[in-house]
Structure 1
Amino acid sequence: MIRIAICDDEDQEVQRAHDFLSKYIQAHPQYEYTIDSFSAPLELLSHVEDHGGFDIFLLDVYMAGMLGTEAARELRRLDTNGEIIFLTTSRDHAVEAFQVDAAQYLVKPYTESAIFKALDKVFHRLIVERRHLITLKTSEGMVRLFTRDVVFTETGRNNYQIIYTIQGDKIEVRMTATELFELLVPAKFFVRCGVSINVNLKYIRQITKDVIIFDSGEQLTFPYRAYQKLKAAFLSFQMSTDE
C-alpha cells in the first residue's frame, strides 16, 4: 500500500492534485494506494507525528503559517523519508526544495504530463528502493533502514560500524565494514573507500585527494591510497545517473 498526502491551503488546488492522482492510478492499477488531504502544514505535521509518515507528499510552497519547504524540513526531522513533490507558483524556492531531497519541483499551473512524469519517477523509486530495505540489529533493538538514506559508514570503537543517514542520525551496529558493505552494495551506488569506510556516491559533492565533501557540507577524511578508485567510481556514477 502506497500512502500519499496532499497539502495545500487552496481547496481547488487540493482537488486538482487529487484528480490527477486518481487518473494516474487508474492508468496504473498495479498500485494500491490511499490519499489524505491537508489544508495546512501544521495539520500535516501533527498527523505524521501521531500516525507516521507517508510514502509520497505533494506540497504547496506558499501556505499560511509555514512555507512548504519549512514543512519538508520538519518532515525530515521527524525521520520521514517519503518522496516529496513540490507544487508551487514560483521557482524561488527550488534550491531549498532540493536541499530536503525533493524528487520534483513543479510550477503551477503544471500540466498532466508534468505531474505524471513526476509520479512515474517517485513510484519507480519507491518500488525499486523497497527492495533495498535492510534490517540491522543495534544495542537499542532492530532498525529498518532504506539504503538510499545512508550517506556513509565508518568503523568506530570495538569494531562497531557507525552509519550516518541523510536525516542526521548515527546508528551503531556490531559488524565489520565488509559485512555492512555486502548489505548496502545491491543498491549499486555504494563504494568501498579503504577498509573502514563505505560511501554513498549520490551524496558526494566533491572529492580531493584525502577528503570527501558531501552535499550537506560535511567532510570525511579517507585514505589517500583509495583516491583513484573512489574518483573513478564517482565519475562513472555521475555519467550514468539521470538524477
Structure 2
Amino acid sequence: MINIAICDDERQELTNAQELLIKYAHKRPQYDIKTCSFIAPLELLSYVAEQGGFDVLLLDVYMAGMLGTDAARELRQLGDRAEIIFLTTSRDHALDAFEVDAAQYLVKPYTEDGIFAALDKIISRMNVDQQNIITLKTSEGITRLMPRDVVFTETGRNNYQIIHTIQGKKLEVRMTAAELFELLGQNKYFARCGASLNLNLKYIRQISKDAIFFDTGEHLTYPYRAYQKLKNEFLRFQMFTED
C-alpha cells in the first residue's frame, strides 16, 4: 500500500488535489493507494507524531500559521522520510525545498500531467528502494535497511562498522568498511572516504578540509588527504543528480 497525504489550507485546492489522486489511483490500478487530507500543517504534524508518517506528501507552501517548508523541517526532525511534493504559487522557496530533500516543486496551477509524472517518478523510485533493501546481522539482531536511510558509516571498536541512520539510530555490524560499501553502493549516492568512512552524499550539508557536516546535525573528522577527492565527488553529485 502507498499512503499519500495532502495538506492545504484552501479547501478548494484540497478538493482539487483529492480528485486528482482519485483519478491517479484509477489510472494506476497496480498501486494500492490510500489517501489522507489535512487542512492545517499543525494537524498534519500532530498526526505524524502520534500515528506515523506517509510515503508521499503533497504539501502547500503558503498556509496560515506555518509555511509548508517549515512544516517539512519539523517532519524531518521527527524522522519522517516522506517523499514531499511542494505545491505553491511562487518559486521563492525552491531553496528551502531542496534543504528538506523535496522530491518535486510544482507551481500552481499545476496540471494533471505534471502531478501524475511527479507521482510516477516517486513511486518508481520507491519500488527500486524496496528491491534494494539489505539485510544485516547487527548487535541488536537481524535488521532490514534501505540504503537511502543511511547517513554515513564509520569504523568503531574491534573493527565493527557503526551505521548512522536518518532516523537517529546507530547500528553495529561486524564487517569491514569495504564489505559494507559493496552493499550500500547499490545506491548511487554513496561514496568512500578514506579506509573507514562510507558517506551518503545526499545528506552532506558542508565539507571543510577537516570535517564533514550532515543534515542531521552530526559531523565527523576525516583525513585531510581525502579532501580533494571527496570535494570533487560531492560537487559532481550536486551538479548531476536528478533527485
Shift of 1:164: 3.2
Q: Secondary structure at the match of 1:24?
A: helix
Q: Deviations over 1:56-96 (max 9, x none)?
A: 00011111221111111111111110100011112221111
Matched, 1:111 2:122: no
Asked if structure 2 preserves the Cα contact closer than 8 Å seen for 1:5 and 1:38, the reply is yes
Letter in 1 for 2:181: F
Partner residue in 2 for 1:33: 33
Q: Secondary structure at the match of 2:186?
A: helix
Relative to the length of structure 1, the TM-score reads 0.83
Partner residue in 2 for 1:73: 73
2:80 & 2:222 partners in 1: Cα distance?
30
Shift of 1:209: 7.2
Count residues with an aligned counterpart.
242
Partner residue in 2 for 1:172: 171
Q: Which moved more, 1:216-225 or 1:59-68?
A: 216-225
Shift of 1:215: 6.8
Asked if structure 1 preserves the Cα contact closer than 8 Å seen for 2:164 and 2:171, the reply is no
Q: Which moved more, 1:221-230 or 1:66-75?
A: 221-230
Gaps of 5+ in 2: none
1:171 & 1:216 partners in 2: Cα distance?
13
Matched, 1:22 2:22: yes
Q: Secondary structure at the match of 2:127?
A: helix
1:12 & 1:201 partners in 2: Cα distance?
39
Asked if structure 1 preserves the Cα contact closer than 8 Å seen for 2:162 and 2:173, the reply is no
CA separation of 1:95 and 1:166: change in aligned 2, threshold 3 A: farther
Partner residue in 2 for 1:46: 46
Letter in 2 for 1:175: R
CA separation of 1:197 and 1:32: change in aligned 2, threshold 3 A: same
CA separation of 1:228 and 1:97: change in aligned 2, threshold 3 A: closer
Q: Deviations over 1:88-110 (max 9, x none)?
A: 11222111111110001111111
CA separation of 1:234 and 1:68: change in aligned 2, threshold 3 A: closer
2:44 & 2:141 partners in 1: Cα distance?
29
Asked if structure 1 preserves the Cα contact closer than 8 Å seen for 2:136 and 2:173, the reply is no
Shift of 1:198: 0.8
Letter in 2 for 1:128: V
Q: Percent identity?
A: 67
Partner residue in 1 for 2:156: 156
Asked if structure 2 preserves the Cα contact closer than 8 Å seen for 1:136 and 1:173, the reply is no
Relative to the length of structure 2, the TM-score reads 0.83
Q: Which aligned pairs between 1:153-232 and structure 2 lie closer than 5 A?
A: 153-166=153-166, 169-176=168-175, 177-204=177-204, 220-223=220-223
1:235 & 1:89 partners in 2: Cα distance?
30
Q: Deviations over 1:207-243 (max 9, x none)?
A: 7776656677976543466567657765775676433
CA separation of 1:95 and 1:229: change in aligned 2, threshold 3 A: closer
1:217 & 1:74 partners in 2: Cα distance?
14
Q: Secondary structure at the match of 1:44?
A: helix
2:109 & 2:48 partners in 1: Cα distance?
28
